[in-house]
Each structure stands twice: as structure tokens, then as C-alpha cells.
Amino acid sequence: MVFPQDESPLLVLRDVRKSFQEPDGGELPILDIPEFTVEAGEQVVIVGESGCGKTTLLHIIAGISRPDEGQVRINGWDITLLSEAECDRFRAENIGYVFQTFNLLPAFTALENVLLGMTFGRGKPDVARAKHLLERVGLAHRMHHKPRQLSVGEQQRVSVARALANRPKLILADEPTANVDSGNQQAVLDLLREGCREENVALILVTHSPEVARQFPRIVRLPDINLVLTRK
């Protein structure tokens, strides 16, 4: 276990490189980020074309994928130095994730899906908080419905509540409005941003939508921080 080194910023990526292996055995560089930082409670949008490494970047920040090189420091902890189990625990307690395709577990109700977001951390699942979050996203009357009984907009709202459930320091949202109908896109976005603001959670949202991007105070174009794309 590595001990925290400093207080801020919340997220620091330094000299992070990631490549994938191609079928012919060669290496395909995806990311080469000299530095990228996010302050606590900050809301950042990352834009870029499809396939430019946005999702890979989120996976590395979440500890789902490991970079080939570099540091990923969150709240002072370099998660690249944590064991896999430690990294899982760290993610459970510090990071919320909103997927493009919602990814609610079909066997569970909306309430249980939110509780699942608290299950793998240190504390006990807080049913009252889970209910409060669902009320907060306007689903008080749909708590005991399964995902197939919810509209796509409702599913994504459950997903937002789940991401906030474990009181994370950072929420990673991967194209959260891409699969939501136009009528619900803004509502989901507002809920996500307001929820983060209320709980002082930093938000990194990835999108290729200019309409979504322009609502954020800080817009990061991935080609500006990713040398792989600059070199192209």
C-alpha cells in the first residue's frame, strides 16, 4: 500500500502511456499523456472523436485498466502501485461510474442497483441514502421496478444515483447521454452535474456532443493532452 503524498489536486495523471497489442504482434499506442489534473469538486468534460482513447482514459483513471507507464494519483494515492484487490476497494470507495449503456443489473430492482453501488466498499449499504438518491433523481415511485420496466431515461437516472451512492470523490461518466432520448438528455445531465455539485464530487464526463460539452466550465480536448493524437 502506498500512502497519500499530497492534498491536491484530486486527480493527477503524469506521463501515462497505454498501448494495445495488435493482432500482428505490433503495439498500437493509445494514450501518451504527460500531465492531466482535476481539482476536487471540479467538473470537466473531455471531448474527442470516437476511438481516440476517451474510454481507455476513464478505465485507467478508474483502475479498471493499468497504464503501461506513469502515475495515476487520486486523492493522493497512486493507484498504479496498489494491488488489484486494493485497487478494487479503492474504486468501490472513491469512484462512481456512469456507463453509456447504463449497465444496470437486470436481476435487481432500481433500489437494489443503487445499493449495489455501496456493497463492495467498507461501510454497510445505506438503504435510506439509496432511497433518497432515487427520490433525488425523480424515481421515488419506481424504486422496486426492474430495469426492463424502466424507460431508458429512467435507467440512466438510476445509473446516476448508483454512481453517487458510495459518496465518491470522483465520478467518471462515459457518454452518459448518448443512448438517452433527446427529451431526457438534458435532465440526466442536469441531475448528474447537480448531484456532483451538491456532494462536492469531481466529475469527468466524456462526450463527443458539442451541446453537452459547452455546458461545462472546463473543456479538455483529448488531442490537446494526448501526444499520441498530436503526433498523428
Nearest distance, CB of residue 147 and another protein, angstroms? 11
Nearest distance, CB of residue 215 and another protein, angstroms: 26
Q: Where are the alpha helices (DSSP H) in the chain?
A: 54-62, 84-94, 110-119, 127-136, 152-165, 182-198, 210-213, 222-225, 227-231
**Locus of grid cell 425523480:** 138
Return the C-alpha cell found at 136.
Answer: 433525488
> Measuring CA to CA, how many Å separate 178 from each of 51, 106, 218?
15, 20, 20
Task: Pick the piece of the chain touching another protein (CB under 8 A) from 71-79, 110-118, 191-199, 204-212.
Answer: 110-118
Q: Should residue 68 be labelled a site residue for another protein when binding is judged by CB under 8 A?
A: no
Q: Is 89 in the site for another protein (CB under 8 A)?
A: yes
Sole binder of another protein in the list 39, 120, 149, 214 (CB under 8 A): 120
Complex with another protein: residue 73 or 162, whichever CB lies closer: 162
Pick 68 or 88: Cβ nearer another protein: 88
Smallest distance from another protein to CB 222, Å: 17
Is the peptide bond prior to 147 cis by the omega test (within 30 degrees of 0)? no
Q: Is 107 in the site for another protein (CB under 8 A)?
A: yes
66-72-77 Cα angle (round to 5): 115
DSSP 8-state code for residue 143 = T
The partner residues of 27 in beta bridges, in order of sequence, read 21
156 touches another protein by CB under 8 A? no
Binding-site ranges for another protein (CB under 8 A): 55-56, 59, 62, 64-65, 84-85, 88-89, 91-93, 95, 97, 99, 101, 103, 105-108, 112, 115-121, 125, 162, 166
